Amino acid sequence: MSYTLLLTLTGLIIGISLTLPGIHWYITYILFALPFLFVVKNRKIVAFSLGIITGFITTFLHTLPPSKPLDRYITRAEGVIVSSRPSTFGAEYIVKIKKMMDGDKQERGAEKILLKVNDRSVYLPLGSYIIMENLFLQWISPPKNPYISDYRRYIERKGVHFEGRAKSISIKEEKNILFLLHKIRQYIIRKIDAKFLYYPEEKELLFTITLGKEKVPYFLQSSGIRSGTYHLLVISGLHISFILLFLKFLLLPFAEINNRHPKFFPVFALITVWLYATITGLRVPVVRATLMCSLFFIGEIFERDMDIITSIIAAALLLLIINPYNLVDVSFQLSFIATLGIILFWMRFKLIEKNYVKIVILTSLSAQISVLPLLLYHFGYFYPLGIFNNIIFVPFTGALVILSFVSFIVPVLFPVLRVLLTIFIRGITLSTQFSPSINFSLSIPLAITFYLVFFLLLYSPKRRFINTTLLSIIFVSISLHFLPSYQKVNENEEIYFLSSTKVSVVYIKDREATLFLADHYRTREIEDILIPLLSRKGIRDIILFYTTISYNHTATLNRLTKRFNIKRVYEVEVIKDTFAFPYVMEYYHTTKPELFEFLPEGENISLSGIDIELVGEENGTLSYIISKETQKILIAPFIGQKNVEKLSGKEFTIAYINGLKKTKKIQEQLSSIKYRYLILPFPYKKFEELISKEIKTLYIKHSAVKVLFNKKEVDVKYHYQDNQWNFKKPDGLRSIIPSTILF
């Protein structure tokens, strides 16, 4: 292994972590300390320093804000489509701007933009040179809810800061390599469509594991995650190895040519894997594996040996120089950690000498163990059944990938492929029914401790100095984990009014949450919005109030029960008069009678430091008043004649009104309700009578609203202000003064 290359990579990572916002300080200090184990002994300070300088410069260039503000109308713009992604109602394209025309003034473009097209009939092939007329650009908006998937940050890491829509789009020319490869991909897709016309699930699986998809279909994503086989559905290094096996099989008839010209296969394979990587989208796992293969093939072509550890380090070095944001990309981290874990297992247990079954079992086990800390840190859960599933499904996936390419040569094999795809889908779907999850959020110090112990057990450094230093870091990491800063409970009392299709309000104190939710039937908002918030806040216990008359608890209650301890569910008395109550009674109230409690209208209960009053039911919704000392908060999914009479003349600190019956009588009574802050879904016309200059009004459709109790006052603001989002420029550079002093 090249220690010089390793030190250069470590220095590069340090330079990136010193500059890039969002890197945990402990990781920076650990990375900064480790190279001195080699620097002190081997005096390779030049490589280490060069890496730091390169990392700082490349990250600085990538984090620079755009040279020109583009948040404006542009009369005409021209550019090349470099990537595409399907959306709900159309598609999103990343376009590299070449020219811009603002009136009579022409400018040279250099920025990438996210072009949104909400028209399914419009199709723009990859690599097309397009002309956009009357293009309106604006800064990409931050996420509406806290702790959800941050698409804005994801797209900014690709160098895209603006999104826009054009009045008209036309294609000027279509002559480049990207366009040609896209045509090849579309040709393969049409062939698969024709062969799997009446098998949509099998077709989607085949697309996913052979050509790759920007967004894995939800039914495959859900089954893949719960069965621990999701990584098989994402094109990665494993699929590259399957491609190389296919090439070996394909070139068997030409073995004599390869024997005469030993450089034939490396050249052919090098070209093929890069073409395949480009067709599948040049995603990080594919590029990592392709770079590693390329280094091996280049070594064979030029008759130079390169060990596998050196190829991994070189691949990581190149990817981080190209884009420093790869360092904080989960896919990048999982890809390299899994590969290193497999290699260390192979070296430690000499798997090359084992039989096939032992190789498959230990390889699968090593990959799962290697990525476990990262999965717990990033996602907070793990499905242990995946360890056993991968023993079966990894070779099965290899057979599917190879057979799919063989079927294009021998079409008679498509029926066999179709049957195997069905078995794969049924297999992972069945395994999800017996796949329990381990829910545990791992801190950074514990994750680092795991990897250092993992390294010591598998690599066993012979130098006492290195062992002593690593053991000292392990001791410090474990101690740091148990410091109050990592163990303290969330002492703030706060309320989140979430941006969702239905009323969703969360009150948090310590590790307990009181939820005011509708029954989100047939939506994924519980998984996508609510559970990330509760998990990041360390919530263990939940008290649930319904804001609608609930006819079916399978969505909200069932999903929350799988992840949290439900202490109590409050329902309104009038539900007993509904047609669905016998069903709810049989499946829920009878099985867990201690969990449910019925509230009559006007009932007032105290819990978790707040008082909650049920105002009443109207139009199938339930309104509540939350009282905290002198502060009162109204949660009103709907206000009509019945509720307005109960609320008339009352004063609130915050009034959240989601629906309103607009009549003259109701408007007169509404004018008697006083409030300092008003939260509305959107500035609809029916709410205009509620708004005045003296009242601060916030809109849920713009962003979730966070309320923080501070003694006898409250702090009410949009959640992205809490996360220091800025609409006018990307995140600023991280301060490097503390680390510079340490150096």
Say how many C-beta atoms besides its own lie within 10 A of residue 125's C-beta.
17
Minimum mean pLDDT among 16-30, 103-117, 429-443: which range? Answer: 16-30
Cβ atoms of 533 and 526 within 8 Å: the answer is: no
pLDDT in tens, 424-442: 999 998 988 887 777 777 7
Phi, psi of 578 (to 5 degrees): -85, 160
pLDDT value at residue 725:
38
Say how many C-beta atoms besides its own lie within 10 A of residue 577's C-beta.
8
Query: What pTM did the predictor assign?
Result: 0.74
Q: Give me 31's structure tokens.
A: 């990375």
Classify the phi-psi angles of 304: left when phi > 0, otherwise alpha if psi is within -120 to 50, otherwise beta: beta
Going by the DSSP 8-state scheme, the letter that residue 384 receives in this structure is T
Rounded mean pLDDT of 640-662? 91
What does the mean pLDDT of the chain come to? 80
Check pLDDT > 70 for residue 517. Answer: yes
Cβ atoms of 616 and 646 within 8 Å: the answer is: yes
Cβ atoms of 704 and 496 within 8 Å: the answer is: yes
- List Cα–Cα distances, 728 to 69, 94, 135, 634, in angstroms: 9, 20, 19, 34
Amino acid found at 83: S
Query: How far apart, in whole angstroms, are the C-alpha atoms of residue 448 and residue 457?
Result: 14
Domains, the chain, with CATH or none: 73-175 (2.40.50), 182-439 (no CATH), 443-487 (no CATH), 494-710 (3.60.15.10)
Going by the DSSP 8-state scheme, the letter that residue 89 receives in this structure is S
Check pLDDT > 70 for residue 103. Answer: no
Say which residue the tokens 């093939």 belong to: 297
Query: How far apart, in whole angstroms, are the C-alpha atoms of residue 329 and residue 331?
Result: 5
Nearest to 48 by CA among 20, 17, 6, 16: 6
Order of all β-strands in the sheet with 596-599: 596-599, 565-572, 541-546, 512-517, 504-509, 494-497, 705-710, 713-718
Per cent of the chain over pLDDT 70 is: 84
Check pLDDT > 90 for residue 505. Answer: yes
**pLDDT grade, residue 726 (50/70/90)?**
very low
pLDDT value at residue 611:
92
Alpha-carbon torsion, ordered 248, 251, 256, 260, to 10 deg:
-70
Say how many C-beta atoms besides its own lie within 10 A of residue 112's C-beta.
21
Q: Give me 563's structure tokens.
A: 């992840």
Query: How far apart, in whole angstroms, are the C-alpha atoms of residue 478 and residue 552?
Result: 46
Check pLDDT > 60 for residue 490. Answer: no
Query: How far apart, in whole angstroms, are the C-alpha atoms of residue 540 and residue 534?
Result: 8
Rounded mean pLDDT of 342-368? 74
Amino acid found at 354: K
CB contact set of 368 (below 8 Å; sequence gap of 6+):
228, 386, 387, 390
Query: How far apart, in whole angstroms, are the C-alpha atoms of residue 221 and residue 213?
Result: 11
- List Cα–Cα distances, 285 to 107, 111, 212, 277, in angstroms: 37, 26, 12, 10
**pLDDT grade, residue 43 (50/70/90)?**
low
Q: Is the pLDDT higher at 371 or at 304?
A: 371
**pLDDT grade, residue 656 (50/70/90)?**
very high
Show the beta-strand stretches assigned E in 242-302. Answer: none
Cβ atoms of 126 and 146 within 8 Å: the answer is: no
Check pLDDT > 60 for residue 125. Answer: yes
Query: How far apart, in whole angstroms, are the C-alpha atoms of residue 536 and residue 580?
Result: 35
**pLDDT grade, residue 352 (50/70/90)?**
low
Minimum mean pLDDT among 253-262, 483-492, 515-524: which range? Answer: 483-492
Rounded mean pLDDT of 700-728? 73
Check pLDDT > 60 for residue 740. Answer: no
pLDDT value at residue 68:
60
Query: How far apart, in whole angstroms, are the C-alpha atoms of residue 542 and residue 618?
Result: 25
